[in-house]
Structure 1
Amino acid sequence: MSKQEGTPALPGNTEVTNRAPQAFAGEKKYQEIFRVANTTRNQLCPVRDIVARISDKWSMLAIFALGGYGKLRFNEMKYKIGDISQRMLTVTLRNLEADSLVTRTVFPEIPPRVEYELTPLGYSLMEQFVLLVDWAELNEEQIMKFRKLQIRN
């Protein structure tokens, strides 16, 4: 091995310096996800479709409301979520039910009573949302500082 310029030629110097940052463990998987998403962008891509369906704020809030409070009637959920319109909550719950994330139970009473509840699949999704919320809480101070800097500039 020849001596490189700027490298001390000491007998105990076995340190290696990497010029490029080391790839993280999941890099290949993420590249593959991105590749598949881009090659299917003009077709129905199940991953894009599912992520689009569940990642809007109303779906996330409905899932957290049901996960946090258990079975809820429509108006209870509307009250828990707050500023959601009746129409948007209806659409959101129908979509979550169609994806088997929420069950809707109608009781044969007068007036009819309807309850919504998370399915096991819905609970498993909520657990993933919790990771995202934890990340947001962990990084909110740094992000808010950066936003304030951007507003000033």
Structure 2
Amino acid sequence: MPIRLRLLVTSALLVVFGLACPSAWAQYSSTLEGTVSDQSGAVVPAATVTTSNEATGVTQNVLTTSAGYYRFPALPGGVYTVKVNLTGFKNWTREHVRLESTQTRAVNVTLEVGSATAEEVNVTAEAPLVETSQARVSRLIEENQIKELPLVGRNFFNLVVLTPGVTG
């Protein structure tokens, strides 16, 4: 009986500690959000917003709310193409939108009134990546950088000092 009780207590403790550490189950994901408006500044509801991961080709669609707002939560970090379509407006596209891990990125869209034929507006220039919604310092370290760095003992904690503003 004591062995069975010991096993039960050990199992219960493992479950409690497993549930008490949600960071152990956390996923590193990014969020893409923004508003869609027309040239006069009025919000555009029910526009279809599509994201496509340029590396994997995975696409997701959402409709803008009555306030013209859209949100893609839980996107993996990467480079995306964002498209906005609505009847009566020209199609809008922005390519090479980079999402870093755990970043919330705003892409606000201004649609131009268009004819019934399918005209498309491609935005290729992009503003520099500046985080304005949160005050934090972060950096994405690519796999090839990790392979080429002379890390002592290949300890991943040594990568922390590569982030700007981090010491020790």
Q: TM-score, normalised by structure 1?
A: 0.24
Structure with more strand by fraction: 2
Higher RCO (CA 8 Å, separation ≥ 6 residues): 2
TM-score, with length taken from structure 2: 0.23
